[in-house]
Structure 1
């Protein structure tokens, strides 16, 4: 089988099923596991993440308003790779090349390839997608084993935080404008022993006014900007710390503001989303979980960084 994955989470699913050797092409965002980075990248972002957050948002919305994709797909390379299976998504126009774009590009293939769109909106859907990919690739037994292990880890988190006080949490998915986490993020917060203030499981992330955050008085703030790691997020943390009333938030006063490697553990609906759940349990209830979290996956914002005088 020859697989092209245009979605980082799908690439991680494929590799978790022992199919890395069948992966002949990936997207520009696919970076895990590290050994797949040498595969041909078939997509390219029109708007790059090295721009300021506000400008990224503006340019992406402009592309979408004009009915244009925010990605370029290399049709010539796709034809050369001759895939049997192409994995993409239709959940978010910003996250990866869409099903419609891929379907149009696939028309030039000599042989018909199966195109699968993975669109989970919660943890159950993420696990179901692993089984779906297993079924499509003839590795269903392996997929069931992967899903069983993920269920075990989810159950361990639930058990570890059971009966503990539930801090009130704001999960910030973008800094400018400020988005709060949607889809699976509210569910993750609840399972990890927190009370998610904004958003509902299964519904998209949305813009929230700063005044609403001030009124909510969160006990914990988790910063998880879509597609960004901690180093990139740290560059613009002044967008938060410079806001009026920031230093008066209970989370700031208690030193409970955290930056996360969102790209790896919170934005991608694949196997590592359960690692993200364990990271949240580590944040909300330190010492509750025996599982070790990955290095450089979370960073507590220092008291100096929390000062409102800091700028991006």
Structure 2
């Protein structure tokens, strides 16, 4: 079978299922595992290069409002790859090529290839998505083992947190300029880690707020997880916010509990590694109960602290 993945999370699922050799094309954003960078890339971004954090948000909003695409699909390369299966999603227009465009193109290719749209909005649906891809590719047995292992890790966290009396108030931001509250599966990740997400709505889309609203929510923990940014880049962005008077008034910032994490690796992509994201959050929220290598995977951002290593 020849597979083209148009979403990094689906690429990760394919790799976990042992489909590396069948994966013949990926997106320009697919970077995990590292060997995937050797695969042909069938997409590219249409945003201008070297935009600031705020400029990226403005450009995305402008193109989305005008119904303009954010990505270009290399149709000639895709035809050359002759896929049997194209994996995509319709959940987020900012994350991937329009599914309508994918289906229209697929209909013109020899075969034509099947198009599978995988659109999880919750933690449970992320686990189910592994099984969905497995059914399409004949890897059901492998999927059962993967999902069982992931459930066991979540169960271990739940057992470690049993009987706790503290439930920290948490706000997770998937963008910082302007602040955008992380939705879909992220509030569930917070709950699984023993916290209460006071702004995010489980299973619902992310949404834009003001820093005044973030301050009014009085979070004990503030987690910066901007989509598409590395840990070191996120630490840098978060440092730039610390001089803002309203941000300084947020309880989490005052107590040195502004944390930067790698969103692409553990939070924003609905793939197997979100369970590691839950483990990271649990270590941040309840370090006395859950241990994790957070010095490498999460960084507290405080005035005067150094940037994270690249």
TM-score using structure 1 length:
0.93
Aligned to 2:259: 258
Aligned to 1:219: 220
Alignment of 1:46-195 (within 5 A): 46-47=46-47, 50-164=50-164, 165-195=166-196
d(CA) in 2 for partners of 1:158, 1:302: 30
Instruction: Tell me if structure 1 keeps the 8 A contact 2:283–2:294.
Output: no
Instruction: Tell me if structure 1 keeps the 8 A contact 2:238–2:301.
Output: no
d(CA) in 1 for partners of 2:242, 2:302: 11
Tell me the alpha carbon deviations over residues 238-258 of structure 1, each in whole angstroms, 9 at most, x when there is no partner: 553132233332212221111
1:234 aligns with 2:224: no
Gaps of 5+ in 1: 307-312
d(CA) in 2 for partners of 1:131, 1:204: 23
For these two proteins, the number of residue pairs brought into alignment is 305
1:204 is paired with a residue whose SS is coil
Aligned to 1:203: 204
Tell me the alpha carbon deviations over residues 279-299 of structure 1, each in whole angstroms, 9 at most, x when there is no partner: 100111114225x44773211
d(CA) in 1 for partners of 2:263, 2:221: 16
Provide closer, same or farther for how the CA distance between residues 233 and 131 of structure 1 changes in structure 2, counting only shifts above 3 A.
Answer: same
Instruction: Tell me if structure 2 keeps the 8 A contact 1:9–1:269.
Output: yes
Instruction: Tell me if structure 2 keeps the 8 A contact 1:88–1:96.
Output: yes
What displacement does 1:198 show? 0.3
Instruction: Tell me if structure 2 keeps the 8 A contact 1:162–1:193.
Output: no
2:24 is paired with a residue whose SS is strand
Aligned to 1:23: 23
d(CA) in 1 for partners of 2:268, 2:254: 28
Instruction: Tell me if structure 1 keeps the 8 A contact 2:199–2:217.
Output: no
2:232 is paired with a residue whose SS is helix
Instruction: Tell me if structure 2 keeps the 8 A contact 1:75–1:106.
Output: no
Instruction: Tell me if structure 2 keeps the 8 A contact 1:223–1:259.
Output: yes
CA RMSD, 1 decimal: 1.7
Instruction: Tell me if structure 2 keeps the 8 A contact 1:221–1:258.
Output: yes
